[in-house]
Amino acid sequence: MLNGKNKLLTAISIIIILMIMLPLMMVVITSFNDQSTISFPIKGFTFRWYHNIFEQPDFVSGFGNSLIVALIASLLALVLGIPAVYALTRFNLHHASWFQSFFLSPTLIPEIVIGFALYQAAVVSMGLPVMPSLIIGHFLLCLPYVIRLITASMLLLDPHVEEAAWVSGCSRKKSFFIIVLPNIKSSIIAAFMMCFINSFNNIPISLFMNGPDLTMLPAAILNYLQNNYDPTVSAISVLLMTFTAALMFLVEKVVGINQLTE
């Protein structure tokens, strides 16, 4: 039975959902507008703005570049972050809390500062190509998500399970792969999803690391919006939302929502 407090919480929840969904619905609707500028309500229906996306070379190349950088940075964050978390949570390391704070420190620094610092250090001073510099920047962006999520999962995993495997003759290295990793699979997948989405949509670091021959999709969208105010930006926003939803659906089909929420 709903009491006054529950009714208030329900009303607040509905208001928050509407505040999130209504702007997104407006973006979807305006993407089909046949007018040459973004306006609401729309006066006609057309698909030409979706076709216009693929006529913009920066959008096509930017999507590929953003996809590659997000995948590499997310995988690097997992490959380096998971062993680091295992060492911090399973070994009696001196100053373990200091290392935790160090790995999480990128979240305390504004991303635009990280982008500028990396541009000065990696591109200007060291002369690194733009692509490796981008991957380094996005790796720093992704690593805190891996550290935070995997640490929480490792602290919930009973260490006696590993000890039982050692007693049975399993080496520490082997037990890590057959005991630890399967038990924290849901956190690994969640960390990858968080890393990929945040890296793919990142703007500050991508803006600083853009080059004449390499454009990231968020930067390409901003550059297009500076000179054009047609519904092409709404159309590409709809495609990006669809891409993210399809990715989530694929994860659900492969591993199952129940496994992710266990």
Residue 221 forms part of a structural domain: yes
Q: How far apart are CA 95 and CA 91, in angstroms?
A: 11
Is residue 259's pLDDT more than 50?
no
Q: Residue 194 is part of a domain; what is its CATH number?
A: 1.10.3720.10
Residue 193 forms part of a structural domain: yes
Residue 34 forms part of a structural domain: no
How many alpha carbons lie under 13 Å from residue 100 in its C-beta half-sphere? Answer: 15
Residue 85 forms part of a structural domain: yes
Residue 205 forms part of a structural domain: yes
Expressed in angstroms, the distance from the first to the final Cα of the chain is 29
- Residues 6 or more apart from 232 whose CB is under 8 A from it? 49, 52, 53, 56, 224
Q: How confident is the model at residue 72 (pLDDT cuts 50, 70, 90)?
A: very high
| pLDDT more than 90, % of the chain | 5
Residue 128 forms part of a structural domain: yes
- Residues 6 or more apart from 243 whose CB is under 8 A from it? none
Q: What is the dihedral of CA 18, 21, 22, 26, to 10 degrees?
A: 180
Backbone angles phi, psi at 214, to 5 degrees: -145, 115
pLDDT at 100: 65
- Per-residue pLDDT reduced to its tens digit, 95-107: 666 666 666 766 6
List the domain range (segments joined by +) for residue 133.
53-259
Structural domains counted in the chain: 1
- Per-residue pLDDT reduced to its tens digit, 25-52: 888 888 888 887 777 787 888 888 888 8
Rounded to two decimals, the pTM is 0.79
Residue 210 forms part of a structural domain: yes
Residue 241 forms part of a structural domain: yes
